[in-house]
Amino acid sequence: MTRGRRRRPFQRDRLLVVMGLFATGFLVIVGRLYGLQVGGHAKWYERGMRQYNQHATLQPERGEILDRHGRVLATSVAVPSVYAVPHEIEQPEQMASALTMLLKTSDTTLKRRLTSDASFVWLARQVSPNTATQLRERRLPGVDFVTEMRRYYPKHHLAGQLLGFVGLDGQGLGGVEYVYDQILGAAPRRVRLQRDAMGRRVRLSLNALPEQPRGTDVHLTLDERLQHVAEKAISAQVEALEAKSGLVMMMNPHSGEMLAMASYPFFNPNAFRDAAQQSWQRNRCITDPVEPGSTFKVVLAAAVLEERMIEPGETFFCEEGEARRGRRRLRDHHPYGDLSFEDVFAYSSNIGAVKIADRLTADVFYGYMKRFGFGQRTRIDLPGEHVGQLRPPRQWSKYSHDSLALGQEIAVTPIQLLRAFAAIANGGWLVQPRVMAYVKKDGERQASVPVPRQRILSQRTTNRLTSILSSVVSYGTGQAAALEGYTAAGKTGTAQKIDPVRGGYSRDRVLVSFAGYAPAEAPQIVVLVMLDEPQRMRWGGTAAAPVFRQVVQQAMHYLQVPPSQMHDLPLPATKAPD
């Protein structure tokens, strides 16, 4: 009895110890669970999400680019992109070899991506529907698709250099796409890579957003129809004359609104990665300065008229076509004797021009070049505009004064030259060219802020210049620019190019041009035509002037400009050159 009673307290104590240990363990587990579920919830939830979710960034839909009448020039379309989950691919080397031809990506690049430690890798962005269909039919494990937005230009090469292009990351890389990237673009959207609890399935899903962002639409001053007319005309002439390249620009001379800006060879932004056309990506209308040749003589004419240095009825002896200025010999294309001030420009006499320029000091002449905006950017809303080259008088040689009178020893961009003629057409105002008309977001229209114009010439001077430039078309070197039913005013130009091998001016390589406006009495458009190194018809009057006529004639009808009241045209004082 005594031994049994002693055993019971011992057993009870042992039981209490065991129960205490269990209770302590339970409390430890509860505490640990509390720490995980409550105290460390954020930490472990984030770690779990990282394990079962991986995020990728996709670019949103960009705003559209439209012409002045709402015609779409650039838009965004939904296209498939291919991604992979490397840890689900058992034989990455074999898969890389199988995909390299279809995705047009090197075998080495695909192997590197498929053997990556990342939970998500891109295999190919924005593939064609045909490529996506072939991949889906193969049902490759670990390979899937997500929809992205790709930039698409429905008119293909139309205004390609002006519009620019967009890279795979959705960033504008040229032209309007670059300048207005902040407006056209929107905040990127995030997608989530998800796996189930067994890690057996992967998919991409859009985050729960109330509304996907979209960029703002940009409406241009450009007119698609006029752009098409310009591109068709210049491409045909470049091919016909076997020229290196060509361009046509059209602007409203009063507002500075660009109506057309065509460069040939064309650039198709849908295929911006095509190496064959990369050399034509840049917009030569604003990026490439050239020596303008005789079209620059309008600056000389404007300067002497504004300074009142020409007497009524005054004539200039043009030395029968050949003269010496120091060691330099000047020639005209035809032998001329006495020419009136007007006819010096109508027939584009080089000898007459330098004699007129003698009346201007270097500083005054230089000042008028600056007035017209040469040596300065026009500040058009496009990237890559070149400033050109205009040296101050202290850097001139003893022949520079003569050279500048003939459009040599100065480099101007086509947009600078176009703006100079616009200043004559609009009565003496220097305008700022622009391509953006307004932006439209959620139905609200926000117009661009107009830039104040600057008067550089008097109305009296521009009226006289218009009379002179009308003579160029009616009986001078620009007769091929004459319109049916409308008056026109303009100037021809034929500029010899520098020979990079021998130095000096080349006898065979020329840049030909014609700049003008119509109707002469009430200008609605100003147009510049340039052809680089034509192999046939190497004169501005025979190569560029016909393009002006073709483009402007169609523009007058399209814009419904009333026909001119055709007055008696000036009669030639001497035989017009060919």
Q: Do domains 58-187 and 224-558 have the same CATH topology?
A: no
Question: How far is Cα 429 from Cα 423, in angstroms, rounded to an integer?
Answer: 5
From residue 158, give the alpha-carbon distance in Å to each of 154, 382, 413, 418, 509: 9, 16, 22, 21, 29
pLDDT in tens, the chain (578 residues): 455 555 556 566 666 666 666 667 666 676 666 665 655 556 555 555 544 555 566 667 889 999 999 999 999 887 777 877 777 777 777 777 777 777 777 778 877 887 777 777 777 777 777 777 877 877 777 777 777 778 899 999 999 999 999 987 788 999 999 999 999 987 776 656 555 444 444 455 444 444 567 889 999 999 999 999 999 999 999 999 999 999 999 999 999 999 999 999 999 998 888 888 888 889 999 999 999 999 999 999 999 999 999 988 899 999 998 999 888 899 998 999 999 999 999 999 999 999 999 999 999 999 999 999 999 999 999 999 999 999 999 999 999 999 999 999 999 999 999 999 999 999 999 999 999 999 987 777 877 777 788 999 999 999 999 999 999 999 999 999 999 999 999 999 999 998 877 878 888 899 999 999 999 999 999 999 999 999 988 899 999 999 999 999 999 999 999 998 755 444 444 444 44
Question: How far is Cα 60 from Cα 180, in angstroms, rounded to an integer?
Answer: 16
CB-based burial label for 21 (10 Å; 0-12, 13-18, 19+): exposed
- Rounded to 10°, the helix 224-241/545-558 angle is 160
Question: How far is Cα 410 from Cα 276, in angstroms, rounded to an integer?
Answer: 32
Nearest one of 178, 193, 210, 161 to 58, comparing CA atoms = 193
Question: How far is Cα 298 from Cα 301, in angstroms, rounded to an integer?
Answer: 5
Nearest one of 516, 493, 481, 547 to 290, comparing CA atoms = 493
Phi, psi values for residue 333, rounded to 5°: -75, -20
CATH of domain 224-558: 3.40.710.10
Sign of the dihedral through C-alpha 335, 341, 347, 351: positive
pLDDT at 105: 79
Secondary structure class of 21 (helix, strand, coil): helix
**Topology, domain 58-187:** Penicillin-binding protein 2a (Domain 2) (3.90.1310)
Distance between first and last Cα of the chain: 146
From residue 255, give the alpha-carbon distance in Å to each of 217, 339, 451, 490: 22, 36, 9, 20
The C-alpha torsion from 33 through 35 and 38 to 44, rounded to 10°, is -90
> Residues 158, 230: contact at Cβ < 8 Å?
no
pLDDT at 47: 53
Provide the 10 A C-beta neighbour count for residue 6.
9
Q: What single letter denotes the amino acid at residue 6?
A: R
Structural domain boundaries of the chain? 58-187, 224-558
Question: How far is Cα 461 from Cα 384, in angstroms, rounded to an integer?
Answer: 33
Phi, psi values for residue 420, rounded to 5°: -65, -45
Question: How far is Cα 490 from Cα 465, in angstroms, rounded to an integer?
Answer: 10
Question: How far is Cα 55 from Cα 194, in angstroms, rounded to an integer?
Answer: 9
CB-based burial label for 404 (10 Å; 0-12, 13-18, 19+): buried
Question: How far is Cα 435 from Cα 440, in angstroms, rounded to an integer?
Answer: 15
Provide the 10 A C-beta neighbour count for residue 347.
26
Strand partners, 317: 338
Strand partners, 264: 246
